[in-house]
């Protein structure tokens, strides 16, 4: 452990220290005011119950610690003209961050109706956690923030994401000792093995041990300090401690720790950038140990509060009813001596603001925390050189993600100077067949490299760590600070970040309603190694439910695409890489897949989002079809086309329409999603009264949930994944879930009125084929040759099926 006091920088003077403490007192005062006061903000008169809000909401416990950190970040940012952000892990401490934004003036610039004066202070207090006002947590509404913090766990990965490819940026990150117990946070400490001291900025973690969560002591506050030091050194850090409860002493120690940390960071960066040193550095971490609810009521109703879990939210809960609580609140507020901090008009006095930086250096005004301000369009090349040649449908096979990899390589290449595009994935980039990327960049890696390793690169922009949480957090931080990216993931395991994507969607939803927040690049998922082709890994790897999860969320934010082949994947990728403020889920296979559409056809199809594939059907111009076969997803599309071909041969008189769906939200009513079809559009595709047999990539009921309002819904029959899986063959997966071509044909026969009797022979042929399949795989362990070698036959066959 390095002793913070031994660094070479100048110590602060007593005056400077006094000003820092004054700023902190002012922030504490403003935090308490937000929790309690609806009037009398400057305590111009004795506090009365009518000055108190009717519902007391907010979190005091963490606020004095956050205020301390903000005060001291102000100091070093100003002194060093340092470009800096802070990620506030204990984001429930909204009052603290709002207080600081107001003090530095960022708040009033963002929200002119909340001026930096007595009236503005009154509004600042009144609006907090009040209907129509601002949320109790740090939120998109908070200037300077890229992190909500309500769920806990993602602060440090967000901080690293912000720092990547921002070489001049310092990202401070306050980690609460509660949050430090979460899995995502615990994993993200190792992000420092991926931070390039040359091309990336710095992350300064500040582990705030205030000792308690809601109701319990925290683990890291209750292990011996040498054990904690071991842990942080084991994470690769150099540890600086700031401990105490005497304000001046803690403030002085904090100035020293901050200076030491920033000096160390500067030295590391200089050594790497100028000296070419490639050894992984030991970045500093500050351990700040101060009481929870510090400077708040020591005891309430005879029980200890300051320094305990009881300080977590509202330490004095009954201020309106209990005169003693009211008296304590007034004493608490007056303990900050507001008259020394604000003038009569409520304006902060100059010495209070002495540590506050100017303009865009203020933490609440840094444009990087409003990434859309800095965002540049991504240079996605024209698709033509990457598209596969398709002369007729189904004549060739390609691996869609492998071709996408070529496109992404070009994007990576085109951003090699700008460095504003990254691809993240949990050790699956090559498994997902995107390895062409390594032609343009390597995999970020700062740890030891052995001669046998491939593609590891100190400056790489492919990011692989076996933690979906860390990948997601990195990418979110990267996007929120104005850059672009893609997350490639096994479909089943993206559920690991269900709750993280929830929070990001919520963030985007609220951000879209704030004019000052500029649109950022969408969060793009490529989900591959999907449910139908995890036949080798088995049941644990088979889950298509992320689409369902995402579609529960705000329709203005979420988009789901299921490109059925290579060129449609390229077209979808082009679209999502250019889009803003969405969460785009793209589900696509990595296994060889028939090419159905040329690039032009793919573009037109993707632009519509769904459409009839005339070449695959047998309907006659101007007549309604007898039945619609619909599909969404690559494997369902193949099964539907195989079924269409069987029908063409077996039931040649049947008028069949094939509809393919790429953009799933098109199935929703237009009132429910911006992409939703009108009823007449829907009916024109799916008919109002003909049977629709739908083969869908995921859980079949999702299609019903999307289409239940449609006129034709009673005739809609969906096949999909029904949670039946294991290690088996690819075709057996569709058979097990009743989505195979034979089952689809049988369903057509059963659903088309009057057909079942006449198509007895055809139906029997389908049942025989399924039986043959079962026998064959048990014996051979592979799929039936007629399935494995199947190809689409474009010519209209005469067929030998029963006449209609």
Return the residues of window 528-547 that contact its own copies according to CB under 8 A: 536-541, 543, 545
Is residue 308 a contact residue for its own copies (CB under 8 A)?
A: yes
Q: Is 665 in the site for its own copies (CB under 8 A)?
A: no
Q: How far is the CB of 135 from its own copies (least distance, A)?
A: 4
Q: How far is the CB of 212 from its own copies (least distance, A)?
A: 9
Site for its own copies in 42-71 (CB under 8 A): 53-55, 57
Would you count residue 215 as binding its own copies (CB under 8 A)? yes
What is the residue-wise DSSP string for 317-333?
Answer: TTTTT-HHHHHHHHHHH
Helix (H, G, I), strand (E, B) or coil at 494: helix
| Binding residues with its own copies: total (CB under 8 A) | 121
Nearer of residues 394 and 700 to its own copies, judged by Cβ:
700
453 lies in the binding site for its own copies (CB under 8 A): yes
Binding mask 458-477 for its own copies (x = CB under 8 A): ------xxxxxxx-------
Say whether residue 307 binds its own copies (CB under 8 A).
Answer: yes
Taking the mean position of all CA atoms in its chain, how far away is CA 550?
11
Tell me which residues in 149-208 interact with its own copies (CB under 8 A).
149-153, 178-179, 181-190, 193
Closest contact distance (angstroms) between CB of 403 and its own copies is 20
Q: Between 487 and 699, whose beta carbon lies closer to its own copies?
A: 699
Residues 667-696 that bind its own copies (CB under 8 A): none
Per CB under 8 A, which of residues 484..503 are in contact with its own copies?
492-493, 495-496, 498-499, 502-503
Is 123 a residue that touches its own copies (CB under 8 A)? no
Nearer to its own copies, 150 or 381 (CB): 150
Shortest Å distance, C-beta 216 to its own copies: 5
Closer by beta carbon to its own copies, 3 or else 723: 723
Q: Does 267 bind its own copies (CB under 8 A)?
A: no
* Secondary structure of 238-284 as H, E, C letters: EEEEEECCCHHHHHHHHHHHHHHHHHHHHHHHHHHHCCCCCCCCCEE
Nearer to its own copies, 374 or 456 (CB): 456
CB of 621 to its own copies, least distance (A): 33
The HSE-up count of residue 676 (CA atoms within 13 Å, CB side) is: 17
Least Cβ distance, residue 449 to its own copies (angstroms):
8
CA distance 85 to 306: 29
- In whole angstroms, the minimum distance from the beta carbon of 411 to its own copies comes to 21
Helical axes 94-104 vs 118-127, angle rounded to 10°: 160
To 10 degrees, what angle do helices 155-163 and 468-480 make?
50
Q: What are phi and psi of 594, to 5 degrees?
A: -60, 145
Output 131 or 753, the one with its CB closest to its own copies: 131
Q: Output 16 or 732, the one with its CB closest to its own copies.
A: 732
406-425 positions binding its own copies, by CB under 8 A:
none
Cα(272)–Cα(279) distance, integer angstroms:
8
Min dist. Cβ of residue 588 to its own copies (A): 19
Instruction: Find the shortest distance in angstroms from Cβ 140 to its own copies.
Output: 9
Enumerate residues 228-257 that contact its own copies by CB under 8 A: 228-236
CA distance 584 to 675: 13
Q: CB of 163 within 8 A of CB of 157?
A: no
Q: Footprint of its own copies on residues 607-646 (CB under 8 A)?
A: none
Question: Pick from 445, 596, 682, 790: which binds its own copies (CB under 8 A)?
Answer: 445
> What part of residues 81-120 is at the interface with its own copies (CB under 8 A)?
92
What is the token pair recorded at 193? 């093995």
Both structure tokens of 505: 């969607």
Q: Tell me, residue by residue from 697 to 716, as one string, x for binding to its own copies by CB under 8 A and - for no binding.
A: --x-xx-xx--x----x---
Query: Which of the residues 730 through 759 are near its own copies (CB under 8 A)?
Result: 732
Is the CB of 317 or the CB of 379 nearer to its own copies?
317
Q: Are strands 692-696 and 456-457 parallel, antiparallel or unpaired?
A: unpaired
Window 312 to 331, contacts with its own copies (CB under 8 A): none
Instruction: Give all strands (DSSP E) within 379-499, no chain letters.
Output: 397-398, 421-425, 443-444, 456-457, 462-464, 484-490
The reply to whether 11 sits near its own copies by the rule CB under 8 A is no
Cβ 290 to its own copies shortest distance, Å: 16
Tell me the C-alpha to C-alpha distance, in Å, between residue 322 and each of 153, 310, 317, 384: 37, 18, 9, 74
In whole angstroms, give the CA distance from residue 253 to residue 249: 6
- From 19, 28, 166, 218, residue interacting with its own copies (rule: CB under 8 A): 218
Nearer CB in complex with its own copies: 118/456: 456
In which residue are the tokens 């923030």 written?
145
Distances (CA, A) of 780 to 540, 724, 776: 24, 21, 6
Which of these, 169, 287, 284, lies nearest to 227 by C-alpha position?
287
Edge-first strand order for the sheet with 443-444 is 456-457, 443-444, 462-464, 421-425, 484-490, 523-528, 583-587, 558-561
> In this structure, are residues 593 and 634 in contact, taking their beta carbons and an 8 Å threshold?
yes
340 binds its own copies (CB under 8 A): no
Q: Is 279 in the site for its own copies (CB under 8 A)?
A: no
What is the rounded distance in angstroms from the CA atom of residue 356 to the CA atom of residue 341? 14
Asked if residue 441 binds its own copies (CB under 8 A), the reply is no
């Amino acid at each position: 452990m390095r002793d913070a006091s031994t660094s070479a920088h100048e110590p602060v003077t007593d005056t400077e220290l006094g000003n820092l403490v004054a700023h902190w007192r002012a922030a504490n005062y403003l935090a308490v005011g937000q929790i309690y006061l609806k009037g009398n903000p400057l305590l111009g008169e004795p506090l009365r119950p009518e000055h108190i809000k009717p519902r007391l909401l907010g979190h005091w416990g963490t606020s004095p610690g956050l205020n301390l950190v903000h005060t001291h970040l102000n100091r070093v940012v100003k002194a060093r003209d340092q470009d800096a952000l802070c990620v506030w892990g204990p984001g429930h401490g909204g009052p603290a961050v709002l207080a600081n934004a107001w003090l530095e003036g960022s708040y009033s610039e963002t929200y002119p109706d909340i001026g930096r004066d007595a009236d503005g202070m009154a509004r600042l207090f009144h609006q907090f956690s009040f209907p129509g006002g601002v949320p109790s947590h740090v939120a998109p509404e908070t200037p300077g923030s890229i992190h909500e913090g309500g769920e806990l766990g993602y602060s440090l990965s967000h901080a690293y994401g912000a720092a990547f490819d921002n070489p001049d940026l310092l990202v401070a990150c306050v980690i609460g000792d509660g949050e430090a117990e979460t899995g995502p946070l615990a994993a993200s400490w190792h992000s420092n093995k991926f931070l390039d001291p040359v091309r990336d900025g710095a992350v300064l973690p500040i582990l705030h041990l205030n000792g308690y969560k809601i109701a319990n002591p925290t683990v890291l506050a209750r292990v011996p300090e040498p054990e904690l030091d071991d842990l942080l050194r084991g994470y690769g850090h150099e540890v600086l401690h700031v401990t105490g409860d005497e304000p001046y002493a803690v403030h002085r120690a904090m100035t020293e720790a901050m200076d030491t940390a920033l000096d160390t960071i500067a030295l590391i960066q200089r050594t790497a950038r100028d000296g070419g040193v490639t050894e992984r550095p030991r970045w500093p971490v500050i351990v700040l140990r101060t009481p929870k609810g510090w400077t708040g009521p020591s005891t309430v109703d005879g029980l200890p509060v300051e320094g305990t879990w009881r300080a977590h939210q509202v330490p004095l809960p009954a201020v309106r009813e209990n005169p003693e609580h009211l008296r304590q609140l007034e004493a608490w507020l007056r303990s900050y001596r507001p008259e020394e901090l604000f003038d009569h008009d409520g304006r902060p006095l100059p010495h209070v603001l002495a540590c506050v930086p100017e303009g865009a250096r203020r933490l609440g005004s840094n444009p990087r925390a409003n990434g859309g301000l800095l965002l540049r369009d991504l240079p996605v090349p024209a698709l033509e050189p990457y598209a596969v040649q398709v002369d007729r449908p189904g004549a060739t096979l390609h691996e869609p993600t492998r071709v996408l990899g070529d496109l992404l390589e070009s994007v990576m290449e085109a951003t090699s100077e700008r460095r504003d595009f990254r691809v993240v994935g949990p050790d699956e980039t090559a498994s997902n067949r995107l390895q062409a990327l390594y032609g343009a960049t390597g995999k970020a890696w700062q740890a030891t490299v052995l001669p046998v390793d491939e593609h590891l690169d100190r400056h790489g922009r492919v990011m692989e760590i076996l933690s979906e949480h860390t990948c997601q957090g990195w990418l979110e931080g990267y996007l929120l600070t104005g850059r672009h990216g893609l997350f490639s993931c096994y479909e089943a395991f993206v559920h690991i970040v269900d709750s993280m994507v929830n929070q990001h969607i919520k963030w985007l939803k609220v951000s879209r309603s704030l004019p000052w927040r500029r649109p950022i690049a969408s969060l793009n998922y490529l989900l591959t190694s999907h449910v139908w082709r995890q036949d080798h890994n088995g049941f644990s790897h088979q889950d298509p439910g992320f689409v369902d999860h995402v579609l529960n969320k705000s329709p203005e934010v979420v988009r789901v695409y299921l490109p059925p082949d290579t060129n449609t994947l390229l077209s979808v990728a082009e679209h999502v890489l250019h889009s803003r403020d969405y969460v785009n889920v793209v589900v696509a296979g990595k296994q060889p897949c028939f090419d159905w559409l040329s690039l032009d056809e793919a573009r037109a199809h993707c632009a519509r989002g769904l459409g009839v594939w005339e070449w695959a059907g047998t309907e006659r111009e101007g007549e309604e079809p007898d039945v619609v076969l619909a599909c969404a997803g690559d494997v369902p599309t193949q099964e539907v086309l195989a079924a269409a071909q069987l029908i063409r041969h077996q039931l040649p008189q049947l008028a069949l329409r094939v509809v393919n769906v790429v953009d799933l939200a098109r199935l929703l009513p237009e009132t429910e999603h911006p992409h939703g079809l009108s009823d007449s559009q829907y009916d024109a595709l799916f008919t109002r009264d003909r049977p629709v047999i739908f083969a869908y990539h995921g859980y079949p009921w999702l299609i019903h949930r999307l289409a239940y309002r449609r006129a034709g819904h009673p005739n809609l029959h969906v096949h999909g994944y029904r949670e039946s899986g294991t290690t088996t063959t690819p075709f057996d997966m569709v058979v097990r879930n009743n989505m195979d071509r034979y089952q689809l044909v049988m369903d057509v026969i059963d659903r088309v009125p009057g057909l079942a009797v006449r198509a007895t022979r055809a139906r029997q042929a389908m049942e025989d084929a399924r039986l043959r399949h079962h026998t064959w795989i048990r014996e051979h362990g592979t799929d039936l040759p007629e399935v494995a070698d199947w190809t689409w036959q474009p010519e209209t066959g005469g067929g030998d099926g029963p006449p209609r």
